[in-house]
Amino acid sequence: MPIEPRDEVIRRILRRLFLLRNITVLGAAAGIIIAHSFFDLHLPLQPLIITLMLLAALNLLTWLRLKSRIDVSNAEVFLQMLLDIAAITSLFYFTGGATNPFIWFYLLPLIIAATILPRAYTWLMATLTVACYSALFFYNVPLPHNGMHHDGGFQMHVFGMWLGFVMSAGFVAVIIVGLAHNLRERDRKLAEAREQALQNERLVALGTLATGAAHELGTPLGTMAILTAELEQEYAGNSHSDLHRKLGILRKQIERCKQALSVLSASAGAGRAESGHRMPVGAYLGQVIGEWQAQRPDATLETRSWHSDERSEIIAERTLTQALINVLNNAADASPDDVWLDGSWTHAELTLEISDRGPGLSDDLHEQLGKSPVTTKTEGLGVGLLLAHATRQRLGGNLVIENRDQGGTTVRITIPLLTGND
């Protein structure tokens, strides 16, 4: 899975800033109404309303900005936070300055800046918030008490501090939980990216080894093919029919080896259209089954269900064919007499289920499948399923391996098919 672009991370923070700004506007408006209705505090309404309207207009611009596809820069986010600081300072100036119990609001833009912006922006934001807070000690419009006695004013201030703490706890919790979620999600994607990179390294190493093997074995196999053909011609008489039959088997096995080497040395990054040709899905699957049965005449294959769209086509590439044969071979190795193939396809997707009655897979082995070469056999490299995983990934398909309740294993493969636009 690809790592989330930084622009998307900044946009997500900007959405939270948009939400917090809405809460600030609504909360300030509610506070003004409560102060007038319940505490008989006659605040300067005109500048407060103008400030809230400007803050709402800024949030409208933020909403429109989030609809745009243009990348959001760090400087743009910082500018919006500066405007938030200016609006908060204006609200505090007309509501008691530094004595306002909601002075903790200065911490919210600082927390956001510290989490997503570069260090220079964070320190600048800290300096500005401290400067604004300090200035409010000397420059402010005191809250009118309207004859309220000292104890009543103090109780109102204590209530405001309590309410401010409750709101600050909620806001900080929302911000920190969101940031923690983003960090966990980013760590997960980084881990997946590292695992994918490691798998790609294994495949590159395997491809390098296969290319070397193809180069080293190509010439001997070619020589063997020529000698086999010459021997067939030399002993073509009826008196050597048994020898002729054995030479035919040898020739087929040589061709099989050459095909296998060709598949292993093929580029894993080749495009589908460059590595195969169009075929009806039914004809292609028949070809795969026929080739596999020629290799494994001892195995029994049963096609239990076969539902098809005859108009569907697939790119018949050699790597896909070999991947399907690898899966069939694994099933035949587990239970030669009980291999089932269920297939269905539409105009867009092919679904295959290959099942066996073998011992199934252990939990440890199941975790390693598709990530590294594994095998339960006493012989072989165990790369069949690894190559099958790499092939389906390149083609945009899916491969799921499950243990059957009745015993054995089921491999479910989905492969996108050609559409009219392909």
Mean pLDDT of 81-88: 89
Phi, psi of 340, deg, nearest 5? -120, 145
Supply the pLDDT for residue 418. 72
Mean pLDDT of 151-163: 57
Q: Which residue, among 149, 32, 148, has the nearest Cα to 91 in the 3D structure?
A: 32
Residue 313 lies in a domain: yes
Q: Which residues contact 111 (CB under 8 A, 6 or more apart)?
A: 172, 175
pLDDT above 50: residue 40: yes
User: What is the pLDDT confidence band of residue 386, given thresholds at 50, 70 and 90?
Assistant: low
- With residues binned 3-state (H G I as helix, E B as strand, rest as coil), the percentages for the chain, rounded to 5, are 65, 10, 25
CA distance 110 to 104: 11
What per-residue confidence (pLDDT) applies to 178?
66
Structure tokens at 188: 């997960």
As given in the structure block, the two tokens for residue 56 are 């709402």
Tell me the average pLDDT of the chain.
75
Q: From edge to edge, which strands make up the β-sheet containing 349-356?
A: 301-307, 339-345, 349-356, 409-416, 398-403
pLDDT of residue 101 exceeding 70: yes
Is 159 inside any structural domain?
no
- In whole angstroms, how far apart are CA 237 and each of 226, 229, 249, 252? 19, 14, 17, 20
| CA atoms of 198 and 210, how far apart (whole Å) | 18
Range with the poorest average pLDDT among 88-97, 176-185, 240-249, 381-390:
381-390
From the number of C-beta atoms within 10 Å of its C-beta (0-12, 13-18, 19+), residue 106 rates as buried
- On the question of pLDDT at 140 being above 70, the answer is yes
Q: What average pLDDT does the segment 70-88 reach?
A: 85
Q: Is the pLDDT of residue 120 over 70?
A: yes
Residue 165 lies in a domain: no
For residue 378, give every residue at least 6 positions away whose Cβ sits within 8 Å of its Cβ, in sequence order, or none.
Answer: none
CB 98 within 8 A of CB 136: yes
pLDDT at 149 > cutoff 50: no
Give domain status of residue 206, yes or no.
Answer: no
Range of the domain at 374: 274-416
pLDDT above 80: residue 340: yes
Residue 303 pLDDT > 50, yes or no? yes
Residue 157 lies in a domain: no
Give the residue, 219 or 7, on which the prediction is more confident.
219
Q: Would you state the pLDDT for residue 145? A: 58
Domain finish residue from 115, 148, 181: 148
Highest mean pLDDT pick, 189-193, 353-357, 366-370, 373-377: 353-357
Burial of 327 (0-12, 13-18, 19+ CB in 10 A): buried
| Strand 276-280 to 313-317 pairing | antiparallel
Q: 317, 327, 366, 343: which is closest to 414 by C-alpha?
A: 343
Task: Note whether residue 184 is domain-resident.
Answer: no
- pLDDT for res 264: 59
* Residue 378: pLDDT over 50: no
Residue 39: its pLDDT value, please? 65
- Give the CATH number of the domain where residue 317 resides: 3.30.565.10
**Predicted local confidence at residue 274, as pLDDT:** 43
Q: How many domains does the chain have?
A: 2
Cβ–Cβ under 8 Å, residues 313 and 281: yes
Of 127, 148, 169, the position where a domain reaches its end is 148
Give whole-number Cα distances, 166 to 42, 103, 187, 253, 414, in Å.
25, 13, 31, 78, 52
Average pLDDT of the segment spanning 247-253: 84
Q: What is the pLDDT of residue 4?
A: 47
Mean pLDDT of 127-154: 72
pLDDT band at 205 (very low <50, low <70, confident <90, very high): low
Mean pLDDT, residues 320-336 taken together:
83
Domain end marker among 114, 131, 148: 148
Give the per-residue pLDDT at 203: 61
Tell me the whole-structure pTM to 2 decimals. 0.44
Using pLDDT thresholds of 50, 70 and 90, give the confidence band for residue 306.
low
- What would the two tokens of residue 342 be? 């269920």
DSSP H or E segment with residue 304: strand 301-307
* pLDDT surpassing 80 at residue 273: no
pLDDT at 48: 86
pLDDT of residue 238: 63
Mean pLDDT, residues 233-257 taken together: 78
Q: Would you state the pLDDT for residue 399?
A: 82
In a domain, residue 59? The reply is yes
Q: Residue 173: inside a domain, yes or no?
A: no
* Residue 226: C-alpha distances to residues 229, 247, 370, 386 (Å): 5, 12, 38, 34
